[in-house]
Structure 1
Amino acid sequence: MTILVVAEHDNASLKGATLNTISAAAKLGGDVVVLVAGAGAVAAVEAAAKVAGVAKVLSVDSAAFADLGAENLAAQVLAVVKAAGGAISHVLAPATTFGKNVLPRVAALLDVAQISEIVAIESADTFVRPIYAGNALATVKSADPVKVITVRTTAFEAAGEGGAVAVEQVAAAGDLGLSKLVGRELTKSARPELGAAKIIVSGGRGMGSGENYQKVLEPLADKIGAALGASRAAVDAGYVPNDYQVGQTGKIVAPQLYIAVGISGAIQHLAGMKDSKVIVAINKDPEAPIFQVADYGLVADLFEAVPQLVAAV
């Protein structure tokens, strides 16, 4: 049994989500093979070869993967699966924007059902995934010849280093020419990346404005080395950009410490952060749902409490 992990990378380094996916793949009990398709992604290939638990790395180097387009990547995964002649039983990718873009196409090309955002593995054909915004867990058994799975990375520890496996060069499937990257707008920040941060400070509708968000939360985040996040309400109100959003329709996070400021705790938001190790909530409404999942709750005016917290740290 061979498990193929489609690596997420930026042609310069391997993304942390891939390490969590490799850990999930290792629990299936077969040989874990990592596919790195890119353009000049030598560093990412070398990093994948050093990950503990990996049996082999497949490297595909082609200009067709310079922008990591989903159509070309899906075609490449399909080519690898077919070339294996039935040896590949599972195809895994992280349940990030990358994985959600590529794997549904792979499942369609293989004519199988995708199993999305698994949080546990019971056997080679039985998996657990959240439903109803995380309020219930469904155990799913698949009879498909190839299981196509996205992995909720917060549910699995990241694989460490310790490997030194062979790298096999694979021929590129080619450029389908179905899409091209026209432009990319990147948000640059000195703070940690939201999806991988150990500490997150999030603001909600209670911040009142984007100016208040920056004035109140940024000093706290800078002081404790945290990433900044937000609820959907704060994003929809225009306080912060979309890439700050934590929740079912945003980023799923599980940091060591999550500080929710002025967030009521709508089910959509809780689905994205309730796996955090320690949750601290600051809200002036004692009945706010966020307090039901918080380890520590402070009923107070955030405009008074947060500056006091910054001064005390």
Structure 2
Amino acid sequence: MSILVIAEHDNQSIKAATLNSVTAALQCGGDVHVLVAGANAGAAAQQAAQIAGVKKVLHADAAHLGDGLAENVAAQVVAVAEGYTHILAPATAYGKNIAPRVAALLDVAQVSEITKVDTPDTFERPIYAGNAIATVQSGDKVKVVTVRATGFDAAAGLGGTAAVESVPAVEDTGLSSFVGRTVSKLDRPELTSAKIIVSGGRGLGSGENFTKVLEPLADKLGAALGASRAAVDAGFVPNDYQVGQTGKIVAPQLYVAVGVSGAIQHLAGMKDSKVIVAINKDPEAPIFSVADYGLVGDLFTLVPEMASAL
């Protein structure tokens, strides 16, 4: 049995969510191969070869694969899919764009956002914003699966000695074209990979208070900044900050929720955090139901005191 993991990368390096997908693949059993489809992506392929547990790296290189257009990458996956029992992709924007197309082209059902592998054909995935766990069994000859990164530990990025095999690149499908990319550049850690996150909610009252109250604490902790949907909808911060079911799913070592009430959709995105600290003036706020430590009081007093004590 062989399992294929679709690597998310920037042509130079492998994205962190790929390592979590490799762990899920290893739990399915069999040999794990990684597909790196890109343009001048030799460095990414070599990095993939060093991931612990990977037996082989398939490297497809062509200009039309360089920007990760879903139609072209999906066609490349299907071109090498023969002989694989499972095809896994990270449940990121990249993976969610490609995996459904692969499943459709292979005429199989997709199993989405798994958090546990029970057996090679049976998986667990959250439903109802994480309030229930569904056990899904697939009878398809090829299992196309997306992997929620927070459900699996990352595979070691070093220690592997996989062979890198070049495979023919498919022709450009011509179904889409790359127009441009606007990349947000932050001095802080990237939200989905940060070990510490300080997150603000509507209780902060304004975008200025995010800067004045939260940033000093985040600076002291070396943390990424996040936000609830209510704070994003109110225009306090850009939607890149949003944590939750409709934002980014995170599971840092420490999550500090400041002025976040704890709506279901927000909890679905952060309740797997290792340690959760909540600061809110409402003792009945739902966030306290998942918090390991809670402070009830005025955040405009408590947060500066916390920052000054660090």
> Is TM more than 0.5 here?
yes
Q: 1:225 corresponds to which residue?
A: 222
Pairing 1:122–2:126 present: no
Match of 2:289 among 282, 288, 292: 292
Q: 1:12 corresponds to which residue?
A: 12
Partner-residue secondary structure (3-state), 2:71: helix
Q: 2:190 corresponds to which residue?
A: 193
Using the TM superposition, give the Cα deviation of residue 19 of structure 1 relative to its aligned residue in structure 2, in angstroms: 0.5
Pairing 1:178–2:175 present: yes
Match of 1:250 among 247, 250, 255: 247
The whole-number CA distance in structure 2 between the counterparts of 1:13 and 1:57 is 14
Q: For 1:95-134, what aligned pairs fall within 5 Å after superposition?
A: 95-134=91-130
Pairing 1:153–2:165 present: no
Using the TM superposition, give the Cα deviation of residue 211 of structure 1 relative to its aligned residue in structure 2, in angstroms: 0.9
Identity of aligned residues (%): 71
The whole-number CA distance in structure 2 between the counterparts of 1:288 and 1:165 is 50
Using the TM superposition, give the Cα deviation of residue 180 of structure 1 relative to its aligned residue in structure 2, in angstroms: 1.5
TM, length-normalised to structure 1:
0.98
Pairing 1:80–2:60 present: no
- The code of the aligned residue for 1:310 comes to A
Q: 1:28 corresponds to which residue?
A: 28
Using the TM superposition, give the Cα deviation of residue 270 of structure 1 relative to its aligned residue in structure 2, in angstroms: 0.2
Using the TM superposition, give the Cα deviation of residue 106 of structure 1 relative to its aligned residue in structure 2, in angstroms: 0.6
Pairing 1:71–2:92 present: no
- The code of the aligned residue for 2:204 comes to M
The whole-number CA distance in structure 1 between the counterparts of 2:262 and 2:297 is 16
The whole-number CA distance in structure 2 between the counterparts of 1:242 and 1:73 is 27
- The code of the aligned residue for 1:56 comes to K
Which runs of 5 or more structure 1 residues have no equivalent in the other structure? none
The whole-number CA distance in structure 2 between the counterparts of 1:79 and 1:199 is 40
Where has structure 1 moved over 6 Å in runs of 4 or more?
none
Aligned residues: 309
Using the TM superposition, give the Cα deviation of residue 181 of structure 1 relative to its aligned residue in structure 2, in angstroms: 2.0
The whole-number CA distance in structure 2 between the counterparts of 1:165 and 1:185 is 34
The whole-number CA distance in structure 2 between the counterparts of 1:204 and 1:147 is 39
Using the TM superposition, give the Cα deviation of residue 205 of structure 1 relative to its aligned residue in structure 2, in angstroms: 0.7
Alpha-carbon deviations, 1:251-296, whole Å to 9, x = none?
1100000000000000000000000000000000111000000000
Using the TM superposition, give the Cα deviation of residue 66 of structure 1 relative to its aligned residue in structure 2, in angstroms: 1.5
The whole-number CA distance in structure 1 between the counterparts of 2:172 and 2:238 is 33
The whole-number CA distance in structure 1 between the counterparts of 2:304 and 2:176 is 48
Using the TM superposition, give the Cα deviation of residue 183 of structure 1 relative to its aligned residue in structure 2, in angstroms: 1.8
Q: CA RMSD in A?
A: 0.7
Alpha-carbon deviations, 1:214-273, whole Å to 9, x = none?
111111111110000001111111111111111001111000000000000000000000
Partner-residue secondary structure (3-state), 2:28: coil
TM, length-normalised to structure 2:
0.99
- The code of the aligned residue for 1:232 comes to R
Alpha-carbon deviations, 1:10-58, whole Å to 9, x = none?
1111001000100110011111000000111111101100111001000
Using the TM superposition, give the Cα deviation of residue 165 of structure 1 relative to its aligned residue in structure 2, in angstroms: 1.3
The whole-number CA distance in structure 2 between the counterparts of 1:214 and 1:41 is 38
